[in-house]
Every structure is written in structure tokens, then in C-alpha cells.
Structure 1
Amino acid sequence: MNREPQYDLTLETSRLILMAGEQVLAYKKTIKDELLHSAGTLKEWVSFFNYNFDEFKAIDFINKTTDMNYNKQILRYFLFDKETKTFVGSIVLQDIDLRIPSCEIGYWTVVSAQGKGYMTEAIQFVTRYLIETHQFARIEAYIDVKNSKSIQTIERCNYEREGTLKNSDLSANQSKLINEALYAITTPIHFK
């Protein structure tokens, strides 16, 4: 019988606290404020920041993504600076497939925290956590080929580019087809 893994809802790196689940609601105001402040910049790459992103949508996003029963195939970590407790970004694990096990990783950093290495630190930690604690065999990222900053980040985390998927998705604002770079990190497979 396959049991669902129990993911840690709090992880810590040297500079960050990563939180998932209802505990994040204690930081709802700071998250909302940073989301609203960053929406204009992030909407180029992240679709939910499009479509008149406002306070109501920010709060709805926080409420839905912290409800662990909302979708069992998605786990979203909210990232906070350890010293200041400010919200700096998010990592989402989606399309979790326990048969392999594998998932897709997605990420973004709020404007005030960009360029400080927070996301590289968080991705490296979460990747190690999934491989060492939950024996993930594959973690992949799909990135718009024009998003050079995101590509640089995932490459710093030692993900390997497996190829380019042509006309594979719509842009964040849903206005045109895009090509995506497929990156992955894999572990050796041992059959028993």
C-alpha cells in the first residue's frame, strides 16, 4: 500500500525559513503587500499576476495555497528572511508523482529580494531535501526561454538542460505561444 509522504512544513537554510500550510497565514499581510508590490514585474513570467491582480486575488492566492487539502499534488513553500521575517519569494512543487517519485519545481522572488541569492539557496535546499528525505528520482523545471534570470538561477542549482520544447505553453499573459527550456535534476535509479 502506497502511503502519501509527510513533507516537512518548515525547512531552514542558513538565511531562510521556508514555510507551507496554515502557519503561513500569520504572515498574510506582509505576503499580500509584497505580492501587490511585485505583481507589475512578475506578471511577465508568472500567469497568476496577470488579469487585474489585486488585494482580493492576493488574499485568495494565499488562502488557497496554504490549505493543504486544496490540492494534494501541489506543495507551496513561502520563503522568509530569517533575520527580518520579510517575505522574499515562493517555491511550488507541483505535478507530484509518487510512482517515480518526481515533481515539477516552480519559483519566483519578490522585487525587493531579487539579486540576493535567496532563490538559489532555497532551490538547492529543497532539491537536496526531496532527494535525500523522499528519494525523488527526478525534479524538473519548465522555463520560458526568454527568462534568462530564471535560467541562470536553475543552472546555478546544477539542473541540467535536457532540451527546448517548442510551442509548448502560452506566455504568462496567455497572448502567444512560447518555447520552454526543460531543466531537470535526476538521481540514479535502483530497481529492487
Structure 2
Amino acid sequence: MERKTELPEVPEEFFTERLKLRMPKPGDGKVVNAAIKDSMNELKPWLPFVQEDPTPKDTEINTLESHILFLKRENLRYLIFDKETNEFIGSTGFHDIEWAIPKMEIGYWISTVHSGKGYMAEAVSALTDLAINGFGCRRVEIRCDAANEKSRAVAESLGYVLEGILHNDELSVDGNRLVDTSIYAKCQ
């Protein structure tokens, strides 16, 4: 018998000290696409959606799909903006959500021009707090390629525990080799 789970209220927008995080909206594809294009060299080793240069239309479609998934509570992507200037910084959010437990995974990427300023750690810290204190999550994960030192540094800086490394776990995003996956978690 499947357990019926009532879905929690999910904020469409919230703020940190320096950032505004909000769900994707129609029309956001243009600014997201520009950031992807400016950051291709840094993102390409880690993310499948930058293996080929996405068109603005491709990114807008992806943004609209993310908006729908957000409304359905199946995937909760947040776009990150500077709170003062409204400049786009990156993207983060919850995926692989299991409301019945509840548990979820946080993913993220940042525009190269904003890297190294602590923005992603600030955003992921806020998401972690939302997951644990807002949604009552018993487990929050961050999974990344074990060679992605910057992504791992975000998890480690926020006190996530490295539970293990899955060796030869996945194909690389370019499909040319096997990669290891680091699994970090916070549990309640």
C-alpha cells in the first residue's frame, strides 16, 4: 500500500544575506543561456546540458519545464540573483525528491564571473536549512563527480559528511570514460 504524502508549502522566492532565490519563470531562459555561454569552459566537464552549445530557445524550454516541475513539486529549481542588482548568478535546487521519507538532493552550478565569492555556499546553506527545517527532511544529499573539487568544497564547507565514493559509477558527461561519484549528506 502506497503511503499518501501531503506536499509541503514551498516558497517560490526567498532571500539570504546577499541573494534572492526564486523559481524559474517564463522569459528567464535568455539570462540563464547567457550565463551558460559565458561559463561553458568551466561547466562542460561536469554538466550534461553544456556538452553542446544550447540555444536561447533550448534554455527557455528547459526553464519552462523547470517551472512546471516546480509547480508539481517534483523538482524544485531556484535561480540565484544578486539581491541588490538582480544580476543572475547561477542555479540550484532540489531533485531526486522523495516526499514520503522525506529526502532530496541539492544540485548547483554558478556563472564563472561569480565563482569564488561564496555565493553558492550561501545559496546551498539556505536550501539545506529549508530542506531540514522547512520540509522536515531526514536526509539531504549532494552528489558530484569526485574530481569536481569546487563542488565538493561547497559540500564540505557546509558540514556535509562524505559518506562514500562510488567508483566507476557513471559515464562522464561527454560519455568517454567512467567517473567516480562523491556522496555527501546531512541527516536528521
Deviation, 1:55, is 2.5
Name the residue aligned to 1:48: 49
**Alpha-carbon displacement from aligned partner over 1:109-159 (angstroms, at most 9, x marks no partner):** 011110110000011111011111111010111111111111111100110
In structure 2, runs of 5+ residues without a counterpart are: none
Matching residue's letter, 1:20? M
**Alpha-carbon displacement from aligned partner over 1:33-86 (angstroms, at most 9, x marks no partner):** 212222232111111111342323222222221224686421100000011111
Deviation, 1:102, is 0.2
Q: Is the CA contact 2:29–2:57 (under 8 Å) kept in the aligned structure 1?
A: no
Counterpart of 1:51 in 2: which secondary structure? Answer: coil
Map of 1:145-164 to 2, 5 A cutoff? 145-164=146-165
Name the residue aligned to 1:139: 140
Q: TM-score, normalised by structure 1?
A: 0.89
State the identity as a percent: 31
> Which of 50-59 and 125-134 deviates more?
50-59
Name the residue aligned to 1:184: 185
Say if 1:163 and 1:147 are closer, same or farther in 2 by CA, change over 3 A: same
Q: Is the CA contact 2:51–2:174 (under 8 Å) kept in the aligned structure 1?
A: yes
In 2, Cα distance between equivalents of 1:174 and 1:53: 18
> Which of 64-73 and 50-59 deviates more?
64-73
Counterpart of 1:67 in 2: which secondary structure? Answer: helix
Q: Is the CA contact 1:96–1:104 (under 8 Å) kept in the aligned structure 2?
A: yes
Name the residue aligned to 2:20: 17
Say if 1:134 and 1:62 are closer, same or farther in 2 by CA, change over 3 A: same
Task: Give RMSD over aligned pairs.
Answer: 1.7
Name the residue aligned to 1:190: none
In 2, Cα distance between equivalents of 1:152 and 1:127: 15
Counterpart of 2:49 in 1: which secondary structure? Answer: helix
Name the residue aligned to 2:7: 4
Say if 1:145 and 1:51 are closer, same or farther in 2 by CA, change over 3 A: same
| Count of residue correspondences | 185
Name the residue aligned to 1:84: 85
Matching residue's letter, 2:185? A
2:68 aligned with 1:67, yes or no? yes
In 1, Cα distance between equivalents of 2:5 and 2:148: 38
Q: Is the CA contact 2:144–2:182 (under 8 Å) kept in the aligned structure 1?
A: yes
Q: Is the CA contact 2:102–2:138 (under 8 Å) kept in the aligned structure 1?
A: yes
Q: Is the CA contact 2:171–2:178 (under 8 Å) kept in the aligned structure 1?
A: yes
> Which of 70-79 and 3-12 deviates more?
70-79
Name the residue aligned to 1:58: 59
In 2, Cα distance between equivalents of 1:52 and 1:108: 16
Counterpart of 2:179 in 1: which secondary structure? Answer: strand
Q: TM-score, normalised by structure 2?
A: 0.91
